[in-house]
Amino acid sequence: MHPRCWSLGAAVPRLLGQRQDQRVEQGRLRALIIARPLALTLAVGFGIALDGELFVPGARAGAWVLLISYTLSGIYILLSALRVRHGFQLGLQLVLDVALVTALVSVTGGVNSQYVLLYFVLILYASMLLSFGGALAASVLSAAAYLFSWTPALVSSRLVGPDYGNKEAVVKILFHGLLFVTVGVLGGFLARRAEQKERKLRDTASELRRVRLGTDVIIQSIKSGIMSIDSEGKVVHFNEAASDILGLDPAEVRGKYFEEALNPGMAAVARALRRGLHEGETVFRGEMEIESGDGRKVPLGINTSLIRTESGGRAGVVALCQDLTEAKRMDEKAKRQETLAALGQFSAGIAHEIRNCLSPITGSVELLKNELSPEGDSEELMGLILKETDRLEVFLTELLFYARAKPPEKQSVSLQELVEETVELLRRHPAYSERKVIECKFLTPDIHVNVDREQMKRVLVNLAVNALEAIDSKGTLTISTSLDAGAGEPPERHRPEATVEFKDNGQGIAPEDLCRILEPFYSTKGSGTGLGLSIAQRVLEGHGGKLSIESALGKGAKATIHIPCSVADRVDTACTNQKAA
């Protein structure tokens, strides 16, 4: 990752932590502002209620102290609303509260006052909010203020009481002052320890968030589906690839028990996870067929591994899954190619031998026909022999073309011209009649493709003838050309391609025939060789394209050839504009 990205990733949690600290400090300050007058009210109120003579000048002095306390609280709330700097407000509040407590101590007997304990409260809240320095400052300030409360220069002997000048009073003052400083130092030390632990905990949490963020990014970037569960069976990780394969929403899966998250069509996946979680069994290169959340049948490859704790116990299971649809298709294609290659070699040998025998038979029959000049049944029989030998010659020619398919000799060809030449050939074919209409739609004009002209023309003619023969007596064959930019496909599958579509309104193809229609020697026509569509498919595969056929019985059929733009000559303006779009 780029260094700036790392620095930004580290700065964001730190910034969030600082903002969170500010919110926490503001909350503590508001709580202190609200709590201080309430606590003082309880302390002074109980003092007045229990012993009215506790206040040397009278109970009215206690009321004045409370009034001043509430007034200061209002000022503190106003300063907080004005967002005065946190440290400044705490320092001001501490100084004024020390003065308020000192006044309360002064009017309640000085060294004999029970409210001396309030100094400890000030020191403790200073250590909580201002750490070590604040606690030490509060303790020194409290000791000085306590000393000031009995100084005869400012307070009369009547207020201090008869113990003024007494050694006992001096000892009390020194003891309290030393105790203030001791509590301040201890409170500050503990506050610093707590602050360090809190900072360490915050840094640990920040690092944990960063690591978790990095782990999530890595998991989401993996193209294989990843699903992990904890020791309780709840889903912890479920990446986008797993969502695409299983057809489930990650937001609805995470945090649920895996048996609830997976639908009944994924029972095999649930069994693999259950065996790993309860029995410690793992799956290596397992294959299963599942029904995804969107109803698709998906051949799935799965591997499971156990998540172990430091002590070796089972902490969960992680499953790695892959959609094997493409791999299965490639395997079937490879097996088919092997079978066809073997069949081609075998057929080529047979066709060659038959052609060697067919040529003298044809020549001999033609010679006998010319010399004998047969009439009647003899003439018909010789004509039948010649007709069938011609049909056999066509079959052998197609068989040899299929068995010995040559690599395409590619050149830049106008797809529109190729279609127009095909239409001209169709109008001379026996399957054509005036009641069968041929329409051409060039949706994207001037598409040039890099193909073998003769091989591609053979493909177009085969498909067009099949469409015409599927129309009984009257109908329409529509031939359309276009350029598919592949805008709806994912980036990794994005493959613009030129297409030619043959659509007829004939009798259509039965479902049981549609699944076998591309097999060699399979034909539903009595006079067909069963090689036309197989040859078309093989030629297109040689060009990196494909053939797709859609049909419903009684609703016609649509055959589409796809030529990838990786083999297209995109010199024309229309192709270039569509690809850019």
- Closest C-alpha to 46, from 97, 111, 117, 99: 117
Contact predicate 492/521, CB 8 Å: no
DSSP secondary structure string for all residues of 272-327: HHHIIIII----SSEEEEEE-TTS-EEEEEEEEEEEE-TTS-EEEEEEEEEE-HHH
Q: Which of 14-18, 30-34, 488-492 has the lowest mean pLDDT?
A: 14-18
pLDDT in tens, 136-172: 888 888 888 877 766 543 344 444 444 444 566 667 7
User: If you average pLDDT over each of 39-43, 72-76, 220-224, 266-270, which comes out highest?
Assistant: 266-270
CA gap 372, 366 in Å, rounded? 10
pLDDT average, residue stretch 341-355:
69
- Closest C-alpha to 525, from 534, 513, 536: 513
**What per-residue confidence (pLDDT) applies to 184?**
79
**Fold held by 411-580:** Heat Shock Protein 90 (3.30.565)
pLDDT in tens, 542-551: 888 888 888 8
pLDDT average, residue stretch 179-195:
80
pLDDT band at 522 (very low <50, low <70, confident <90, very high): low
Q: Mean pLDDT in the chain?
A: 75
CA gap 141, 564 in Å, rounded? 86
CB contact set of 20 (below 8 Å; sequence gap of 6+): none
**What per-residue confidence (pLDDT) applies to 168?**
65
**What per-residue confidence (pLDDT) applies to 164?**
45
Burial 19-50 (b: 16+ CB within 10 A, else e): eeeeeeeeeebeebbeebbeebeebbeebbee
Tokens of 190: 């503990």
Whether residue 571 has pLDDT greater than 50: no
Q: Is 253 helix (H, G, I), strand (E, B) or coil?
A: helix
Tokens of 359: 């040529």
Q: How many CB atoms lie within 10 A of CB 524?
A: 12
pLDDT band at 2 (very low <50, low <70, confident <90, very high): very low
Region for 556 from its dihedrals, namely left if φ exceeds 0, alpha if ψ lies in -120 to 50, beta otherwise: left
pLDDT average, residue stretch 266-293:
87
Contact predicate 227/321, CB 8 Å: yes
Contact predicate 126/135, CB 8 Å: yes
Contact predicate 102/118, CB 8 Å: no
Q: How many CB atoms lie within 10 A of CB 568?
A: 22
Q: Which CATH superfamily is domain 224-323 in?
A: PAS domain (3.30.450.20)
pLDDT band at 16 (very low <50, low <70, confident <90, very high): very low
**What per-residue confidence (pLDDT) applies to 575?**
38
Q: Which of 32-46, 270-284, 290-304 has the lowest mean pLDDT?
A: 32-46
User: If you average pLDDT over each of 72-86, 189-203, 400-414, which comes out highest?
Assistant: 189-203
Which ranges of 150-166 does DSSP label H, i.e. alpha helix? 157-160
Whether residue 443 has pLDDT greater than 70: yes
Residue 95, φ and ψ in degrees, nearest 5: -65, -45
pLDDT in tens, 167-186: 666 677 777 778 888 887 88
CA gap 154, 511 in Å, rounded? 111
Chain Cα centroid distance, residue 572: 38
Whether residue 8 has pLDDT greater than 60: no
Whether residue 9 has pLDDT greater than 70: no
CA gap 191, 133 in Å, rounded? 10
**What per-residue confidence (pLDDT) applies to 502?**
92
CA gap 474, 342 in Å, rounded? 42
pLDDT band at 506 (very low <50, low <70, confident <90, very high): confident
Sequence spans of domains, the chain: 3-204, 224-323, 328-403, 411-580
pLDDT band at 411 (very low <50, low <70, confident <90, very high): confident
pLDDT average, residue stretch 195-222:
76
